[in-house]
Amino acid sequence: MKILLIGPRPPPHGGISVHVSGIHQRLIAAGVQCVILDSSLITDRLRFVRELASYAVCGWTLQVHTNGHNRNSWLLALLCGMAGRWNGGSSLTIHSGMMPGYLRTSPSWRRKLIGFVCRLYSQVICVGPAIQDAAISVGTLAERTELAPASLAAESPDVPLDPQVLAWIQLHQPVISTTLFFRPEYGFDLLIEGLARLRERYPSIGCLVMGSGERRQQAETLVRGAGLENDVLLLGDVNHDICLALMRRSHVFVRPTLQDGDSMSVREALALGVPVVASRVGSRPPAVTLFHPGDVEDMLSGIDLALAGNLRTGQSIQESCAST
């Protein structure tokens, strides 16, 4: 079997790109012939279509990974679904928790088109139940849909970390970690407001922020305005292995999103034994402490609860860093 994975690949190390990269690594390790066609290449339409067609006509099975919450996502899915009909077949994985809202606000012609696109695929994989319900609502046969959360790492790898980052961690107690893109739906402004209040109770608190985005400069301005430039470390886009290693060194992982799907980083934090506080959106595992999206007081209550348990029973972050 020959598999063509179609989706973004790192960098940046976001949920979909990490998921696609992880599938690729596992398939290669299992001896399966597998190649990634980077969906960012679609900006060069002719090159993308040429590469897609060359794989499809040679019998490769297409596995398409996309967010499903904008026009370009569905144009990509339409193109790949039609190519998959030529020979090897295809499956579609929809990742974004904003997809159901996108469908609800779409005109009827667009909903019909999305339904047609989904029916081009032999299987439509949805990372959360709301996404699955939305796919079925536009005419996708229920037996063609599958609910499957994004893959996750069971443990953080043993990777060397920047000594300056480790020194920063040792100066802060407790440490919060988060992964995000600097876009409004990720709730970074809510997190900064919460951190400013938490510092009154935890004077040495620190926050590791992993991620990138077009609003990075606005994020830096927000941090400075809150007087947190020494306590919030904006690490940018980091390798996934480093992300996991840093996540493991934090007392709590916070996911302040206003919209979400089935966040892979939430599941990874739990798998690493790190308490998670996340907004009540998308699909969350039972062990997550939930708060109402956009409610800073509710978020702070959840963080206080998680920190109280972790700081009382767990090894200190300083001890953990000193042992590395």
Mean pLDDT of 32-49: 88
Among 12, 16, 9, 67, smallest CA distance to 264 is for: 16
Q: Which amino acid is at 124?
A: V
Per-residue pLDDT, 87: 76
Residues 288 and 199 in one domain: yes
pLDDT for 13 beyond 90: no
Residues 191 and 138 in one domain: no
pLDDT digits (tens, 9 = 90+) for 214-256: 899 999 999 999 999 999 999 999 988 899 999 999 999 999 9
Residues 110 and 174 in one domain: no
Residue 21 CA to residue 109 CA, distance in Å, equals 34
Residues 143 and 189 in one domain: no
Residue ranges making up the domain that contains 16 = 2-147
Among 190, 236, 295, 317, smallest CA distance to 13 is for: 236
Domain stop point among 121, 147, 173: 147
Strands (E), 59-99: 61-66, 90-94
Contact 222, 258 (CB under 8 A): no
The least confident of 119-123, 152-156, 190-194 is: 152-156
Residues 134 and 176 in one domain: no
pLDDT digits (tens, 9 = 90+) for 285-312: 899 999 999 999 999 999 999 998 765 4
Residues 179 and 216 in one domain: yes
Q: How many domains does the chain have?
A: 2
Per-residue pLDDT, 27: 95
Q: What is the DSSP string of 200-231?
A: HH-TB-EEEEE---TTHHHHHHHHHHTT-TTT
Strands 90-94 and 33-38: unpaired
**Which pair of tokens denotes residue 156?**
């953080």
Among 258, 48, 269, 45, smallest CA distance to 155 is for: 269
Domain stop point among 113, 147, 181: 147
Residues 140 and 171 in one domain: no
Residues 186 and 87 in one domain: no
Answering whether pTM is above 0.75, one says yes
CATH number, domain containing residue 305 = 3.40.50.2000
Give the angle 277-218-261 at the CA atoms, nearest 5°.
35
Residue 90 pairs in a beta bridge with 62
